Chains A and B, each alone.
Chain A
Amino acid sequence: EAGVTQSPTHLIKTRGQQATLRCSPISGHTSVYWYQQALGLGLQFLLWYDEGEERNRGNFPPRFSGRQFPNYSSELNVNALELEDSALYLCASRKQLDYGYTFGSGTRLTVV
């Protein structure tokens, strides 16, 4: 069974640009979560998508947005990039009525 896959692995952007990160959940998993892991800050919850809808949002500005497609894959968009957006962005998926998340290996975003 394929795990959670994220692309790209690394992304380098200039301040002010937009970044798009992609996530494919495990087959059969309908929920997708996005987390930001910045150095020294731990995992910070960004967004939860389930059945194509945004269900919950963390304490991040609106320039962090995303969507979930009919095949349950998801996209995270970060507009107007700032230097402090540099972090590892992790996607996780969960099967309905299950508890544990399965994480991908992440996309390392560097803003210069």
Chain B
Amino acid sequence: QKEVEQDPGPLSVPEGAIVSLNCTYSNSAFQYFMWYRQYSRKGPELLMYTYSSGNKEDGRFTAQVDKSSKYISLFIRDSQPSDSATYLCASGGYQKVTFGTGTKLQVIP
């Protein structure tokens, strides 16, 4: 079993839609949780991180962590074509962060 599981998609939505991206993790020792966005042929870009259960909001992005069920989510409101990218969830600690395989998102104008 992979430590971080993520639906690879691809996910295709119309512009303006609410996007929900989800991951599960198996290691109870994981201390913090991150979401990265990766455009083609670029390195991943950190979107948000959190280390507690609950919601964290940043503009159109909301990260949600439920430690009891080991579930991580990212919601994107009012999605834009520029949001088209691969989204990677990640969790771990200082020693190492484990990444999901990424969900490819396409926002259609």
Contact = CB atoms under 8 A, between A and B. Distances in A.
The answer to whether A and B interact is yes
A58 B43 contact: no
B96 A42 contact: no
B95 A101 contact: no
Secondary structure type dominating chain A contacts: strand
B73 interface: no
B34 A100 contact: yes
Contacts of A4: 43
B97 A101 contact: yes
Interface string B36-50: 100001111110010
B88 A43 contact: yes
Range class of the A interface residue count: 20 to 34
Nearest to B47: A100
Given A99-B32, A99-B51, A100-B34, A42 B44 contact: no
A1 B99 CA distance: 26
Nearest to B48: A100
A42 B46 contact: no
A90 B44 contact: yes
B80 interface: no
Interface string B89-109: 000001111111110000000
